[in-house]
Amino acid sequence: MAAFAVTGSTSSVGAPVVAGLGGRQAIVALLPGRSVALDGVGCLVSLVIGSVERPDGTGAPDRLADLRRALAVADATGVPRVVHLSSAVVYGAAAGNAVPLSDDTPVRPDPGFAWAVELAEAERLVAEWRDGAPGRAAAVLRPALVVSPDDDGFWPRALGGLSGPRVAGERRPVQFVHVEDLARAVITCATASSPVDGPLNVAPQGWIDADDAAAFAGAAFPPPRLPARLVRPIRRLLWAFGLGATPPEVEAYATHPWVVAADRLGDLGWIPTHSSEAAVVAISPGATLATLSPRRRQEILLAATAASAGGLVLGLAGLLVHAARSRRA
């Protein structure tokens, strides 16, 4: 008789979750587009929406449909607990955000970011399921930027704003959580002796500066600092020519703070084994700057700023000339 059912079992976080839970009880892996009976299952672990590793607008309706299907089966067969993987992007990114955001911060995803909106809708569906009958509990995990050595790090780079220009005079905190720590957070909630209910942030303690994060991720030079009025159009231009990592729809997340405090999860005994610095290195394990002392790295980054800014201006000028010639042709 199975104790756990898991959606998204083949994702970068799903595989270690299944391995961790499988040592305790049998597992039912729920595949996209299919329904199975969940008789005897004590906890549904929903990972399919929160473990998206690349932007995928076309898949969003299918992921929500899979979640609805799994919750309907859980409802029909009396599953009492759900552990659902969401993301801290549901809080939205704004200049006035608290640093850090607590577990009970209201959900306000940026309406232009389809995945964040989808995640918020998924949380609503999970809450609706929980409220549908007495005695149910739903833990909703909201991790910071998830880093896995097994994927290309698109979301950590894009949402972390690890490339492209920055606003002059502004410093932005960022957080990264290693996929192994996230998997242990899921397992902690799924196997807790008492049902875990409500939102739980997932992140190591504290945060790091975005410039330091870029260095740890392997950036050879620091992003240039420019007036605020120039940053967004330059980022959009870089993205349009395939030279940037910041899609227009995530501009707010790459500009404003949205770091979180994992107080509730810590109260359950979860302790991450990777700091934000150690997690972000997983994007680029061979990053040479990450091996230098903080002082030496700062010296190199400061010395490179002027050259980096000049190179960006020349590069953009070349792109604009090329675009103009292409239009005339």
**Going residue by residue through the chain (329 aa), what tens digit of pLDDT does each one get?**
468 999 988 889 999 999 999 866 667 877 666 667 788 899 999 998 988 766 554 455 588 998 999 999 999 999 999 999 999 999 999 999 999 999 999 999 999 999 999 999 999 999 999 999 999 999 999 999 999 988 878 899 899 988 888 888 888 999 999 999 999 999 999 999 999 999 999 999 999 999 899 888 887 677 788 998 999 999 999 999 988 888 999 999 999 999 999 999 999 999 999 999 999 988 765 544 444 455 544 443 444 343 334 444 444 444 444 444 444 44
For CA atoms 104, 107, 113, 114, the dihedral sign is positive
H or E element, residue 56? none
Which residues are within 8 A (CB) of 194 and not within 5 positions of it... i.e. 6 or more apart?
Answer: none
Give the position of tokens 């799924």.
190
CA distance 89 to 50: 10
Report in angstroms the alpha-carbon separations of 37 from 71, 79, 84, 234. 11, 11, 19, 52
In the block, tokens 């059912």 appear at 5
The rounded distance, in Å, linking the Cα atoms of 71 and 39 is 13
* Calpha distance 101→116 (Å, rounded): 16
Start-end of H helices in 23-143: 60-77, 114-130
State the pLDDT at residue 264.
97
Q: Would you state the pLDDT for residue 103?
A: 97
Closest to 35 in 3D by CA, of 66, 6, 3, 4 = 66
The pLDDT score that the predictor gives to residue 56 is 53
Would you state the pLDDT for residue 33? 63
pTM: predicted TM-score of the whole model, two decimal places: 0.84
Residue 252 φ/ψ, nearest 5 degrees: -60, -40
